[in-house]
């Protein structure tokens, strides 16, 4: 049975969507605990759980690339909210060709005022697969993130969402009205795009999570 639990494999991409406090970050960390490879966690919201997951690094591509390979998880807390500056580091990591996978805790920060994703995020989403760079991106405002984030994804983890415009965007892009469900706190749906399969899950084991990274 365990083999069938949700998993972001090598070079695969997942979006984790849900209103604030719905359990996105906890769900993303659970996915990370099951994902292969080396990861950079971009802790844009200074989440304390994310801080504890791995080696702290500056949000600076040469420094990230210099971290010894035995660090499975690196955690960077950017000191800027400028989307271009944030995106530039992604571009440099993407172009380095190294197989560092990326978890972004809030994708909104990587979009400019007109809602566009920069070349770094787009590069990661469109060329990451061939470079073995996996991706997990969270957002509390699905209506405000670029279509790119949706169209390049292999999986969607969907937590409680309340705004009609968030549902509309998700359903318009995926063409899957069944994703819209009234979910209890911390319950989530996992939609596998290739298999066109939606499965529902209860809360991930949150108490046990940090230990998995010890
Ligand atoms: N599976 C779970 N079991 C128990 N508690 C949980 C679970 N998931 C989340 N929580 C708790 O609910 C709170 C919110 O969870 P989390 O930070 O993951 O949500 P979020 O959607 O990322 O919130 P935000 O929008 O503020 O970033 C946290 O205190 C967390 O410990
Ligand atoms: Mg969060």
The per-residue pLDDT string of the chain (214 residues; one tens digit each, 9 = 90 and over) reads: 445 899 999 999 999 999 999 999 999 999 999 999 999 999 999 999 999 999 999 999 999 999 999 999 999 999 999 999 999 999 999 999 899 999 999 999 999 999 999 999 999 999 888 889 999 999 999 999 999 899 999 999 999 999 999 999 999 999 999 999 999 999 999 999 999 999 999 999 999 898 899 8
Which ligand is nearest the CA of 18, by number? 1
Cα distance between residue 39 and residue 213, in whole Å: 12
Q: Is pTM, for the whole model, over 0.95?
A: yes
Which residue intervals of the chain are DSSP H helices? 24-34, 48-51, 61-66, 83-95, 119-127, 147-151, 164-174
Q: How far apart are CA 50 and CA 105, in angstroms?
A: 9
Pick the CATH number of 13-212 from 1.20.1260.10, 1.10.357.10, 3.40.50.970, 3.40.50.300: 3.40.50.300
- Does the CB atom of residue 209 touch ligand 1 within 6 A? no
Please give the distance, rounded to the nearest whole angstrom, from the Cα atom of residue 1 to the centre of ligand 1: 25
Distance 44 CA to ligand 2 centre (A): 9
* Chain-centre distance for alpha carbon 110: 12
How far does residue 23's CA lie from ligand 1's centre (Å)? 4
d(CA 37, CA 147): 27
């Amino acid at each position: 049975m365990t083999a069938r639990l949700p998993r972001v494999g090598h070079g695969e991409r997942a979006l984790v969507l849900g209103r604030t406090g719905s359990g996105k970050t906890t769900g993303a960390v659970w996915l990370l605990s099951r994902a292969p490879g080396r990861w950079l966690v971009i802790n844009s919201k200074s989440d304390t759980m994310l801080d504890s997951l791995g080696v702290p690094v500056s949000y600076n591509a040469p420094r990230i690339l210099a971290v010894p390979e035995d660090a499975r998880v690196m955690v960077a807390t950017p000191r800027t909210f400028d989307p271009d500056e944030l995106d530039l580091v992604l571009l440099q990591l993407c172009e380095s060709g190294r197989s560092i996978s990326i978890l972004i805790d809030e994708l909104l920060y990587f979009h400019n005022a007109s809602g566009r994703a920069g070349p770094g995020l787009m590069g990661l989403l469109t060329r990451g697969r061939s470079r073995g760079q996996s991706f997990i991106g969270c957002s509390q405002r699905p209506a405000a993130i670029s279509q790119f984030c949706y169209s390049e994804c292999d999986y969607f983890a969907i937590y409680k969402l309340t705004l009609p415009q968030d549902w509309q965007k998700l359903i318009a892009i995926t063409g899957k009205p069944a994703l819209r469900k009234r979910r209890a706190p911390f319950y989530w749906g996992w939609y596998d795009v290739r298999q066109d399969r939606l499965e529902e899950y209860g809360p991930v084991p949150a108490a046990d999570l940090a230990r998995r990274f010890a």
